[in-house]
Amino acid sequence: MSVATANDTVRVAQGAFGIDSELELIVVGLDVAELNALWPGTKVAVELDLIYRFEPTVDELSTGVGYPIVDDEGDHLVLYFTALPIARINTPHTIVDDPKVPARFELFAQDLPVPPCDIGIEIRGGFAQSLPKKSFLIEFWEDPSGEGTVDRALLGMRNDDDWNLQSLYNEPLRITSPLNNRLWTDIHQPYYAALEPEAKSGISMEHVELFLNDRYQGIYAFGERVDRKQLKLEQFDGGIRGELYRGVGWGASTFTSMPPYDNNSILWSGFEYEHPEELVDWSRLHGFVDFVINASDEDFVPNYPEQFHMGTAVDYFLFLNLLRLADNAGKNIFIARYDQGEPYFYIPWDLDNGFGVIWDGTRQPVTDDVLTNGLYARLMDDCTTDGFRSRLRARWQELREDLLAYDPIMHRFNEAHDRLAANGVYDREALAWPDFVHDTDHLDYAGLWLQDRLTFLDVVFGAPCTVGLDANATIGNVRLFPNPTTGSAIVQIDPALLPCDVYVTNTLGQRILQLHMVQERTTIDLSGSATGIYQVSISGQGMHLRRSLVVE
């Protein structure tokens, strides 16, 4: 047995590592190049909380490699080095949905460490709460009482007291949330950025490895939160100026219904009231929803740019459909206003999955549909010069030259995967969560899906605008009537275009009905479906046509 000496024992500072005794796992967050330079030659041991011997000895340390080690008691563990930050949270309390409980937090990042400090922590999410690996909200406190908060800048992100820790459990490769958020903020910046240079149109997220009560939890995304401070919305000054609402369900949030509101509640028809906290008043948002749903075409088309920012509407629609984020057309989206007299605009959140994967982490290889909601169904009918469809076509062509070309998008995807793989994250994730399988075939699946999706959207977004006719009119030798309907509608098609397939999708992009037409008429039965706007796609004989069908 080799005897450890000062020259061959790598010393690791307290706080730079996490130990999970049950998993027999140690993760060290130090730069191996520096360690190899400080301790050249054969390395016999490593000094952490104890001295552990390498078995066998190591000549050159690498990230992502599991090194067998043994302590003086003969207990065997596996040691990894990672370039990713390591977060440690400890609390004697049971972490629940609400309220936050006191805990101690420490973050070791090679450039920006955070020493031990007080936080409050609670479980976050809806569906995510059913998963074994929980997501969390944390708030930095001045002391364990939580009576005061303190702002902290983390991992190059903003200075704030509230942060998300997203578990990524339903993401096959644990990468799409950070990747999608970064893509959105690269595509879109706030239209009022000249007035508010620090305003961001979304959030930033960074991967960390988490130890909770000395148990390794795997890879997480540490992220900012969408709020007034992130968007730099105007503050309440005795009256409402900036506004912020969060989509948490379906209804008015998809511009498909408009029930009465109650200013004594922070919830209304799929929305949750966020800002200003000083006064709950739904009348402004209700007025906008009313305009979208009930304004005549003669009123809507010339006036909607004053109500909703055109550039944001365009960018978000193409982003939503590029990734096919089926859960982000009403729910999982914020709507905001910078100041009174300014237009509303969208901010996305919970951008998990996409790339042919839906909210629960399963594959849905649909590439030939268009996600929409009541607002976008009306915007897509705007065929005016310099209107929505015209700007959508121009913006899509512009972005396809650079940010939204196939190679740059897949480079982001592969780079994010390769970074986690190089640090051994997938091995440790499987150790902490045995149901996790690192499926490298998913890279090929995502690439093929994206290729097909881009091809389809090139046709759809590049097509001439032929909408704006009567909803029951014949378009392309196809008629869909009655429209609106109370439950069923008829598709009538020129026999020369038969056979063809008819698909009906809801506002989530979910296909709810599929028919194969061999005769010139067929009935779409939606009598058991909720009221709202549905997309009817008709494909065959070189034809691909889409119509909106309103169910009342």
Digit-by-digit pLDDT tens for the chain (552 residues) are 444 456 799 999 988 999 999 999 999 999 999 999 999 999 999 999 999 999 999 999 999 999 999 999 999 999 999 999 999 999 999 999 999 999 999 999 977 788 999 999 999 987 778 889 999 999 999 999 999 999 999 999 999 999 999 999 999 999 999 999 999 999 999 999 999 999 999 999 999 999 999 999 999 999 999 999 999 999 999 999 999 999 998 889 988 888 999 999 999 999 999 999 999 999 999 999 999 999 998 999 999 999 999 999 999 999 999 999 988 988 889 999 999 999 999 999 999 999 999 888 999 898 888 888 889 989 998 999 999 999 999 999 999 999 999 999 999 999 999 999 999 999 999 999 999 999 999 999 999 999 999 999 998 898 887 644 345 555 556 788 887 788 889 998 878 778 888 989 886 667 889 999 998 889 999 888 888 778 888 877 655 666 778 787
Distance, CA of 382 to CA of 415 (rounded, Å): 39
Domain range annotation of the chain: 9-81, 89-167+197-223, 247-411+449-462, 474-551
Distance, CA of 532 to CA of 550 (rounded, Å): 6
Distance, CA of 479 to CA of 40 (rounded, Å): 77
From the candidate CATH numbers 2.60.40.3080, 3.40.190.10, 3.40.47.10, 2.40.50.100, the one assigned to the domain spanning 474-551: 2.60.40.3080
Phi-psi region of 191 (alpha: psi -120 to 50; beta: other; left: phi over 0): alpha
Distance, CA of 361 to CA of 4 (rounded, Å): 47
- Please report where in the chains the tokens 């046509």 appear, as a residue: 545
Contacts of 62 (CB under 8 A, 6+ apart): 32, 81
Distance, CA of 429 to CA of 442 (rounded, Å): 16
CA atoms within 13 Å, Cβ hemisphere of 214: 6
Q: Which helix (H) or strand (E) holds 548?
A: strand 543-551
Q: Kindly calculate the radius of gyration of the chain based on its CA atoms and give it in whole angstroms.
A: 27
Q: Which residues of 463-499 are buried (b: 16+ CB within 10 A; e: fewer)?
A: eebebeeebeeeeeebbbeebebeeebebebeeebee
Q: DSSP code of 173?
A: T
Distance, CA of 132 to CA of 127 (rounded, Å): 11
Residue 466's pLDDT is 62
CA angle (183 as vertex; 423, 546 as ends), nearest 5: 130
Q: Which residues of 215-226 are buried (b: 16+ CB within 10 A; e: fewer)?
A: ebbbbbbbbbeb
Residue 23's pLDDT is 97
Distance, CA of 200 to CA of 226 (rounded, Å): 9
